[in-house]
Structure 1
Amino acid sequence: MSRAFYGWRIVGVCLIAGAFANAFGLFGAGVYLHELVATRGWPTGLVSGAITTFYVTSALLLIPVGSLIGRHGGRPSVMIGALAMGAGIAAIGHVEAPWQAYAAFFVMSFGWACLSLTAVATTLAPWFERHQGRAVSIASLGASVGGMTGVPILLFSIGIMGFAATTTVAAAAMLAVLLPLGWFVMRRRPQDLGLLPDGAPVAAASTAARPAGWTRREALGTWALRSVMLAFGLAMLVQVGFITHQVTLLSQALGPAGVSLAASGSALAALLGRLMLARFADQISPRATACAVLALAGVTLLIQGLFPTPSVLTAGSLVMGLTIGNVTTISPIIVRREFGAATFGVVFGVASCGIQLAAAMGPSIYGLLHDAFGGYRLPLLLAAALDLVAACVVLSGAAPRAARP
């Protein structure tokens, strides 16, 4: 692995983009939910529906985003993602009616589709072969950095400047950083620089013809891909719902300082989990690792649902952080390893679309069950069961017999 290889600059941009997208998008959504419910007096289920719209729309966009990156590289994805995410974040602090919140999250969904881990993994697929798992894991560290800093920054800034000013400043900061990086640093593929994946010189590479990649239909016909979609669809439904409602859940037992510390601790744990995965990603079985992670998440959610004391909720947030980082990272590693790089954007684009459509239901399921039963016990118990099912499903899959590079 050469330190001079340009692909690691692409990893760096993806890491920074992920930090902003997760700080003010994924993790920020929980803060926006809490603020809109608290300041506008809207029902939790109603606002959760706007966040569900955000995830549904972004999920449907993942297939065209994967194709866009496959044809043109990561530059247009970063540029469009920054503009859309920035516009939605700036708007969410100024909404005065529920339909405006839905519109702001709808615009934000275009940004999330372009800056999500799906876009990152597709961007990096042509750049790495031997170090593919490590590259994706390192780039995903941005999600942990964003989660670790986003909630405290937003809550602190809202307390000082107010909701509207905070979202405006956050949007401006995102645009100021990501637009120059996207324009000046991003490149489509290593061959454009006279290199091959991992930095190997073109002259040193074998000139043998490579087999064609998978078609979308062929990939969907395998249990390998369907098991990934089902397992991680359930897991992401649980995870996104938990992240979205984490601030509100913790607020029922902790004060503002405790909520910030617990949320930051959760993100720090996610960072540590991703660092461990980055170290061993290319040596371990990703399916076995995913099974262990999902089982741990299921048990943790079960305990939080049964014993929702301040200490249990705080400890549960920390343990969930360890699982949050790796659940989002392992699915593209599995697909890249089992289906290859040639058509990764096509194959993982459809897989991630199905996964995120399921994930989109998380905020609304948690919110509606919370409103119907007056608390988070039932949502947490249901989430625990779904994670345990997902752990069994992911372990049942295997690389397709007609595997292609």
Structure 2
Amino acid sequence: MRQLSEPSIGGVVVTPAVKWFIDETDLASAAPWLGLLFMLGTVIPGWFMVRPDPESSGFHPDGEPRALDAPVTVLSGTDYLTARRSRFFIAVTLGYVLALGAQVGGIQQLVRLAEERTDAATAAFATLALALTSIVARLVGGRVFPRFPLARVITVLAVAQTFALAAIGLSHSVLALFTSIVVFGATVGNILMLQPLLIAERFGVREYPRLFARSQFIGIFGTAGGPWLLGWLYDHAGGYDTAYVVAGLMSLAGALCFAIGGPAEDDRDHGRASDEAIAD
């Protein structure tokens, strides 16, 4: 849960500082320094901290400590080809392309929208409110959502994100805008959190790394395309009113994908394989 809340904590701590730095200089001057900071703070430490698998660090795949004399872990789950071709995997992956495209686009354009409709100080506070709401909602969701069918949870969250994004685009008062941002923030972290949980729940841990990596790779088309689409709509289709309504419709399309994917708790195609068999 701690790791799942850290992206939003970064939004609270890092984003305001980065915005201040860019405002004080300009994007062209700030970008090289931000790139250097990312290299020193993320890329280099990550290179030395990555391990090939939990076993090499003395842990089972679920994170529990592994005794030295413990038998080889037997992993259960769906084989890779079966999982990759399943309706659930295709629907969830496409759903995340749409839902995260809408989400990331909405987040990326939020400061400019808030500055247009309020002022710079209020826009900075809007970003802070979004991140704080995401942290709190994600911590609550991590406790509550496992009690319910995960496919239904992600569908409801994507629908809620639909209304939140549309409301942001159509809000022109501070109260309405911040109410919409709070609802949006409550969906942001939880939608992101549920992607690995859905895949692990449906397909088990046997092929989880490959399946999650593939799903995330395809999802990049959404996270990269969403901000571009909203920016293009802002320039050519009537401003942020249209852009955020379209983002809401993208999230609704994602919700439909999640709804037709089927339950995440279906484990009828799970098999078992040892770590050595998977390595081979």
* TM-score, normalising length: structure 2: 0.83
* Compared CA separation, residues 196 and 209, structure 1 to 2 (3 A): closer
Tell whether 2:113 aligns with 1:249.
Answer: yes
Could you tell me how far apart the structure 2 residues matched to 1:195 and 1:306 are?
50
1:199 — aligned with what? 64
* Compared CA separation, residues 158 and 367, structure 1 to 2 (3 A): closer
Instruction: Identify unmatched segments of 5+ residues in structure 2.
Output: 273-280
Alignment of 1:113-192 (within 5 A): 137-178=1-42, 181-182=45-46, 184-192=48-56
Correspondent of 1:349 among 193, 198, 213: 213
Aligned length: 268
Question: How far is 1:235 from its partner?
Answer: 0.5
Q: Which amino acid aligns with 2:270?
A: A
SS in 1 for 2:263: coil
Question: How far is 1:209 from its partner?
Answer: 5.1
Deviation string 1:302-331 (CA, Å, 9 cap, x unpaired) is 323333333322222222111111111111
Could you tell me how far apart the structure 1 residues matched to 2:179 and 2:188 are?
14
2:249 — aligned with what? 385
Could you tell me how far apart the structure 2 residues matched to 1:376 and 1:167 are?
26
Could you tell me how far apart the structure 1 residues matched to 2:228 and 2:270 are?
38
Alignment of 1:5-404 (within 5 A): 137-178=1-42, 181-182=45-46, 184-197=48-61, 198-202=63-67, 205=70, 210=75, 214-215=79-80, 217-280=81-144, 282-396=146-260, 397-399=262-264, 400=266, 401-404=268-271
Could you tell me how far apart the structure 2 residues matched to 1:191 and 1:155 are?
41
Could you tell me how far apart the structure 2 residues matched to 1:178 and 1:324 are?
23
2:277 — aligned with what? none
Could you tell me how far apart the structure 2 residues matched to 1:386 and 1:178 are?
31
Structure of greater relative contact order (alpha carbons < 8 Å, 6+ residues apart): 2
Do 1:144 and 1:271's aligned partners in 2 also have CA atoms closer than 8 Å? yes
SS in 1 for 2:52: coil
SS in 1 for 2:117: coil
Do 1:340 and 1:404's aligned partners in 2 also have CA atoms closer than 8 Å? no
Question: How far is 1:332 from its partner?
Answer: 1.2
**Identity level (%):** 22
Instruction: Identify unmatched segments of 5+ residues in structure 1.
Output: 1-136
Do 1:196 and 1:202's aligned partners in 2 also have CA atoms closer than 8 Å? no
Do 1:339 and 1:404's aligned partners in 2 also have CA atoms closer than 8 Å? no
Do 1:151 and 1:260's aligned partners in 2 also have CA atoms closer than 8 Å? no
Do 1:236 and 1:355's aligned partners in 2 also have CA atoms closer than 8 Å? yes
Could you tell me how far apart the structure 2 residues matched to 1:210 and 1:337 are?
13
Do 1:233 and 1:359's aligned partners in 2 also have CA atoms closer than 8 Å? yes
SS in 2 for 1:398: coil
Deviation string 1:158-203 (CA, Å, 9 cap, x unpaired) is 3444445543443343333335633554433332234424324346
Q: Which amino acid aligns with 2:154?
A: A
* Compared CA separation, residues 265 and 339, structure 1 to 2 (3 A): same
